[in-house]
Structure 1
């Protein structure tokens, strides 16, 4: 049974400050089971991403541009997960599924920042692989530490500026409806509830989406097209491209699939579809990507695998002498 939470509005009924989330169902005895599964998924996301980050930061051999960009990608996945999972867990335990406008704007900011930084990071990583494979002799001269830092900063600052503008435009609207057809706050779904003219919001969203998606997609496709062309002329470069570009491409395709499902979910009328299917489509991009990437990069990038072995081996060797000392401790016989 669908539980619709309708909190009474404060003051004038045309000014809504609390939104109701309509996709939460009365789980009954299954509530704690679902809560436990979601909590375990969140802990796995945190553990997997933090493990790879610790390995990269603790091993000097991994302080290279490619791994710096990967660290930025993984940090962004922690940010995106933090924007959804704590909120989701709290809502699962509540009987009234509402969210105030301030928290709703904060969640929109975190989730949209996650999506944008992810695309910028993929573009930067594809450019980095293009230089490493197509121009290996010039790679060190181009990818200097200052350039690497600048690319990382831009991949975060440009999305922050864009999303702050978007959420500010949405925050200035007056809302006269409160029913959000989602598990969480989505800018498109929330703006539809406004009784103001939303032309500016819609035009800004469409222009920014088109410019960013078109621009970044063009960068990514151009870089990988040139990498592919070089692979046909050199066996050595082909091997290097396969070993380092495969996880990038797999991660990019997985994330693109999640975003495509999200666009379908938000733009098309899917009320006839089962609720479980709509929930799965809506959760895919923020759940599977953070779980998929640490495993993907950890297994496919040789240096990360080797660093994990060294790190774990050092821990075991460090614990060995202590255990030996404990076993050897005791009174000596004269």
Structure 2
């Protein structure tokens, strides 16, 4: 009897799941005529992200004096920022003019893959940059040997492979899922909320979701924390001038990592716990802060703030010789 009941329940789930061909991004709501203003602002913001990050990549590529480990790692960070933005903004812009705010399963899966992979690459890149600063400050005489160009290239390759393989692992559990609901209370496809919509998500799927968060966030953040703790210990014994130089070099990375970690934690909590007491607009803003603001902040904190990049930018733009 239990067998037949199970078959009936499974059949009913399959019938319901076959109707789900798209997800509804419910957090957009009805913004009325403001959608035109929001569209212009978001389009300008996205173009600014693309232009600023692309410009810095070109500057680093064109100026051979910038072919150093720190700037090569920065270049990789700019690429990951553009990848994450491109996975978010086109869908965001198109949804502003949509009445239903629907997105197909295929596009939703593609967006998740790009956002989470690029997010993992960004955190791993920040971990590599923290290690680079650690070697530079703590072992200055051995820096060129430890952080050779070939080794930096290998680190970047491993970062992308590590992030991609991690997400493909969890994605292999998400693809076979059948869905009995299609409303996602976000402005983008949230991985955990998609899993919650499944008719019968397995324990392995939930575990793999947490495992991805651990290997993509906790491990890189721990490496960053260890690197800066060691830098701090060394800075205590440095002269005032060298201490100030070390702090100036590391401050942008600390600010960037703190921003990503704090809002990443909010995104994690928002997807898994009830935060209904937080106003909807505030919750939406906080959940997309890293995707919206981080790609714009990064070029200025890491790029234009550095004297060598400013000088190279001026030569590229104004030196006609």
**TM-score normalised to the size of structure 2?**
0.91
- Single out whichever of 84-93 and 209-218 deviates more from structure 2: 209-218
Q: Higher RCO, 1 or 2 (CA under 8 Å, sep at least 6)? A: 2
- CA offsets per residue over residues 250-271 of structure 1, 9 Å max, x none? 2111222221221232122123
Listed as ranges, the gaps of 5+ residues in structure 1 are: 1-10, 319-334
Q: Which moved more, 1:158-167 or 1:234-243?
A: 234-243
Please say if 1:153 is aligned against 2:157. Answer: yes
Which of 280, 284, 291 is the equivalent residue of 1:286? 291
Task: Give distance in 1, aligned partners of 2:222 and 2:276.
Answer: 34
CA contact (8 A) 1:73 1:118 kept: yes
C-alpha distance in structure 1 between counterparts of 2:282 and 2:224, whole Å: 31
Q: 2:179 aligns to what? A: 175
**1:131-179 per-position Cα deviation (integer Å, ceiling 9, x unaligned):** 1111011111111222111100111110100111212211111111111
Post-superposition Cα deviations, 1:43-97, rounded to whole Å, max 9, x if no partner, equal 1111111121111111111100000001101100000000110001011111221
Deviation at 1:198, TM superposition (A): 2.6
CA deviation string 1:86-131 (max 9, x = no partner): 0010111112211111111100001101211111111111111111
Q: Quick check: 1:80–1:286 contact (8 Å CA) kept in 2?
A: yes
Match of 1:133 in 2: 137
Check if 1:214 corresponds to 2:222: no
Match of 2:27 in 1: 23
Over residues 211-241 of structure 1, what are the superposed CA-to-partner deviations in whole Å (9 max), with x where a residue is unaligned? 4433322321221111111112122542331
- Inter-partner Cα distance in structure 2 for 1:293 and 1:286: 11
Q: Does 1:13 align with 2:6?
A: no
Equivalent residue, structure 2, for 1:101: 105
Name the CA distance, whole Å, in 2 between partners of 1:30 and 1:219.
Answer: 43
For 2:15, what is the secondary structure of its paired residue? coil
Residue of structure 2 equivalent to 1:58 = 62
Would the alpha carbon gap of residues 42 and 212 (structure 1) be closer, same or farther in structure 2, given more than 3 Å must change? Answer: closer
Contact 1:49 1:74 in 2 (8 A): yes
**Distance (Å, rounded) in 1 between the aligned partners of 2:140 and 2:81:** 30
SS of the residue corresponding to residue 27 of structure 2 reads: coil
| Larger Rg computed on CA atoms | 1
Give the 3-state SS of the residue equivalent to 1:115 in structure 2. helix
Aligned to 2:52: 48
Partner of 2:271: 266
Mapped to 2, the partners of 1:78 and 1:32 lie a distance apart of 24
Contact 1:21 1:184 survives alignment (8 Å) = yes
Matched with 2:311 is 306
Where 2:293 maps in the other structure, the secondary structure is helix
The equivalent of 2:193 in structure 1 is 189
Name stretches of at least 5 consecutive residues in structure 2 with no aligned partner: 1-13
| Match 1:252 to one of 244, 248, 257 | 257
Q: Is the 8 A contact 1:175 1:195 kept in 2?
A: yes
The question of 1:241 aligning with 2:246 is answered yes
Could you state the TM-score of these two structures normalised by the residue count of structure 1? 0.87
Cα gap change, 1:143/1:269 in structure 2, threshold over 3 Å: closer, same or farther?
same
CA contact (8 A) 2:167 2:212 kept: no
SS of residue in 2 equivalent to 1:13: helix
Deviations 1:177-204 (A, max 9, x none): 1111111111100000011133111111
